[in-house]
Structure 1
Amino acid sequence: MRIRLERDTLAEAVQWAARSLPTRPSVPILAGLLVRADATGVVLSSFDYETSAKITVQADVADEGEALVSGRLLADICRSLPAKPVDLTADGTHVELVCGSARFTLQTLPVADYPTLPALPEATGTVPSDLFAHAVGQVVVAAGRDELLPVFTGVRVEIEGETVSLLATDRYRMALREFTWNPATPQTSAVALVPAKVLSDTARSMAAGEQIILSLASSGAGDGIIGFEGHGGGGDRQTTTRLLDGEFPKVRHIMNTQPVMTIRLNTADTIAAARRVSLVAERNTSLRMLIGEGVVTLEAATGDQAQASEALEAVVEQQSGGDLAVTAAGFNPTYLLDALGAFDTPYVNVAFTAPNKPCQLTGLAEIDGDPITDYRHVIMLMRLPS
């Protein structure tokens, strides 16, 4: 195999294909990155039996062939190369990489032992890549990170015709984002539980192209696989991952609970105030929100050592007559900041259902406008000392 391609093209392609390589592979062969050259270009791919990645780029191919080399080492080398064309040659036992006066020789791994990548299922539909990346980014903040509870580390993808719903929860917060897309058939209906980390990495790394093709295997034909495909200036990218097993908790009904009181806040001002006040919050203690007439005060403390408070203008609305149903609420500071940071609207609406019960955040284009419900974020409140 003998190929030549631009340094930036190679570095970007290797980096993308190697991003999902396991840090501690179960077998050494899985640390390899497969480089295959033919008349159509160069294909770089990786696979760890769970997630696969494949990218195709244009190159000058003098001799066709394939080679398997250490993916992380190749990625490190490509990042360090000077901005000159790269010549890559494989002779069976070694790969030689030459860029300007820089020369590297890498030992190859046995290609015959490398597992076959799964094929992409049939296309289910397409979605603009920027919309998909934004929607996924809003939802994954609520996904769990405890690998001992794998069902909470996933994002539930629900497809019903032209509507896609993304739902995630770690039991203490929930996020739901709904958007329209272009299904392959109007009657498309499917559900999948996708690992949140893979979904997030994929959405971000494919944002350069105009759209992403989503492919979900139907039952009985490669069941348990979801694939994504994107096309852009950096090459044609494909990735697949196995779906998570287990039943996702039934939490959608919490999103529909009617509030007894709402407060409307400036998003940026609230984020800035919460960051400042939470600096003195002790581990596992709450950031308190005190609610008054036209004002909200954020408070936190570390015993007697440090205290902080900051007042914010707010529009406080009682949904049913009488005194304020909620006068104080306790938030996990990280959860509150994660939720606020997921909104791209200038204002946010915080809806309370009852003291010490979950509250729901939605975006507002204007302080007196209607809540934008395509993205909803629920936070379980922390119990405050009486």
Structure 2
Amino acid sequence: MKFRVERDVLADAVAWAARSLPVRPSVPVLAGLLIDASDEGLVLSTFDYETSARATLKADVADEGRALVSGRLLADICRSLPAKPVEMVLDGARVSLTCGSARFSLQTMPVDDYPSLPDMPAATGTVQSDQFAHAVAQAVTAAGRDDMLPVLTGVRIEIDGSTISLLATDRFRLSHREVGWSPRTPDESIAALVPAKVLGDTAKSLTAGSEVTIALAASGSGEGIIGFEGAAPGGVRRTTTRLLDGEFPKVRSLFPAEHQTVAKVDRAALIESVKRVALVAERNTAVQLAFSDGVLTLDAGSGDEAQASESIEATIEGEDITTGFNPQFLLDGLSAIEQSVVELAFTQASKPVVISGSVGEGDEDSPFRYLLMPRRLLS
């Protein structure tokens, strides 16, 4: 194996492939990054039996061959190289890397022990890469992080014709985002549960091209797989991951059809107020929000402890209401909204609030909704 490639193209592709390497690999070869050089260029691959990454890039290949080296070490090396072409040569059990006057020699791992990467399923459709990345970033806001509840660490993807719905919940909040796309089969209706971290990292990393291809092969036995493919500097990138097994809770019914109180508030002002008032809120205590007479008053702290209070303008329709929320969960939802004015819709103080971006009259509803459970207020 012998090839020559541009430093920036190599460094970017290696860093992308290495990002999904397991922290504690079950077998040593899973810490490796597979380099496959052929007449068609380079293919860099990683796989941990759950998630695979495959980057294809252009290179001047003098001799074909394959080598397996430490992925994280190669990423660190490539990141530090000078801005000059990189040459890599396989010599026996070692790979030599030369870039300008910098030279490295890396020990290889047995290629034959490396598992075969899963095949990409047949394409289900395509979506605009920037829209998809933004939608996923909003949806994963509410995804759980407790591995003891693996179903809640996923994002449910529901495909219905030309619309993709993304749903996530950790039991205390719920996010719902819709985005349009171009399905290969117009009347396709399919659902899958995708690990939130993989989905978030992948969507963010595939914005170099205009479109992302989604390939979904779902099954009822938990052996389903989903793949994502998009253009990248110097080539193409592809990720596959196994779908999560389990029944995602039926959460759509949690969004109420009617509201008793609707308040509109400047998003930036509300975020800053919550941050300030929350400074005195003890851990696991709520920040109180009181809506009345065109004013939103935020309070935190109680008794002999530190206290804080702040008021900001609000447009309020309906009855006065006082409730409270986990300040970090509230900030997470507000930060995920892009509109300058947010709408908070209530049925009653003890029921969840639905937060969304405020749109003008006659405009379509906001494609992102964030439902947040209230917290008990300290007396």
Sort the TM-score into its range (normalised by shorter chain).
over 0.9
**8 Å contact from structure 1 (residues 127, 212) kept in 2:** yes
**8 Å contact from structure 2 (residues 262, 346) kept in 1:** yes
Matches within 5 A, 1:103-182: 103-182=103-182
Instruction: Tell me what 1:355 maps to.
Output: 349
Matches within 5 A, 1:254-269: 254-269=254-269
Instruction: Tell me what 2:285 maps to.
Output: 285
What are the Cα deviations for residues 301-355 of structure 1, in whole angstroms up to 9, with x where unaligned? 275342222111000101xxxxx3x521111001100000011101111001112
**8 Å contact from structure 1 (residues 363, 375) kept in 2:** yes
Q: TM-score, normalised by structure 2?
A: 0.97
Instruction: Tell me what 1:99 maps to.
Output: 99
Instruction: Tell me what 2:227 maps to.
Output: 227
Once residues 178 and 111 of structure 1 are traced to their aligned partners in structure 2, the CA distance between those partners, rounded to angstroms, is: 43
Instruction: Tell me what 1:365 maps to.
Output: 359
- Distance apart, 1:234 and its partner CA: 4.3
- Distance apart, 1:219 and its partner CA: 4.0
Letter in 1 for 2:124: T
Q: Find out whether 1:337 has 2:337 as its counterpart.
A: no
Once residues 124 and 18 of structure 1 are traced to their aligned partners in structure 2, the CA distance between those partners, rounded to angstroms, is: 27
Cα 1:217/1:56, change in 2 over 3 Å: same
What are the Cα deviations for residues 50-98 of structure 1, in whole angstroms up to 9, with x where unaligned? 0000000111111110100000000011111111111111123000001
Instruction: Tell me what 2:6 maps to.
Output: 6
The counterpart of 1:346, out of the listed 340, 348, 372, is 340
Unmatched segments (≥5 aa) in structure 2: none
**8 Å contact from structure 2 (residues 355, 370) kept in 1:** yes
**8 Å contact from structure 1 (residues 280, 302) kept in 2:** no
Instruction: Tell me what 2:42 maps to.
Output: 42
Q: TM-score, normalised by structure 1?
A: 0.95
CA RMSD of aligned residues (A): 1.6
Greater alpha carbon shift after TM alignment, 274-283 vs 127-136: 274-283
Cα 1:229/1:136, change in 2 over 3 Å: same
Greater alpha carbon shift after TM alignment, 122-131 vs 179-188: 179-188
Once residues 3 and 194 of structure 1 are traced to their aligned partners in structure 2, the CA distance between those partners, rounded to angstroms, is: 36
Cα 1:95/1:221, change in 2 over 3 Å: farther
SS at match of 1:137: helix
Cα 1:31/1:85, change in 2 over 3 Å: same
Greater alpha carbon shift after TM alignment, 347-356 vs 141-150: 347-356
**8 Å contact from structure 1 (residues 364, 371) kept in 2:** no
Greater alpha carbon shift after TM alignment, 286-295 vs 211-220: 211-220
What is the percentage of aligned positions where both structures have the same residue?
59
Once residues 218 and 369 of structure 1 are traced to their aligned partners in structure 2, the CA distance between those partners, rounded to angstroms, is: 38
**8 Å contact from structure 2 (residues 261, 345) kept in 1:** yes
Once residues 207 and 213 of structure 1 are traced to their aligned partners in structure 2, the CA distance between those partners, rounded to angstroms, is: 12
Instruction: Tell me what 1:377 maps to.
Output: 370
**8 Å contact from structure 1 (residues 255, 378) kept in 2:** yes
Instruction: Tell me what 2:312 maps to.
Output: 312
Matches within 5 A, 1:177-196: 177-196=177-196
Matches within 5 A, 1:26-41: 26-41=26-41
Once residues 138 and 113 of structure 2 are traced to their aligned partners in structure 1, the CA distance between those partners, rounded to angstroms, is: 40
- Distance apart, 1:202 and its partner CA: 0.2
Letter in 2 for 1:52: S
- Distance apart, 1:220 and its partner CA: 8.9
SS at match of 1:249: coil
Once residues 173 and 185 of structure 1 are traced to their aligned partners in structure 2, the CA distance between those partners, rounded to angstroms, is: 33
Instruction: Tell me what 2:71 maps to.
Output: 71
- Distance apart, 1:383 and its partner CA: 1.6
- Distance apart, 1:179 and its partner CA: 1.6
What are the Cα deviations for residues 145-169 of structure 1, in whole angstroms up to 9, with x where unaligned? 0000000000000001111100000
- The number of residue pairs the alignment matches comes to 379
**8 Å contact from structure 2 (residues 22, 48) kept in 1:** yes
Cα 1:241/1:210, change in 2 over 3 Å: same
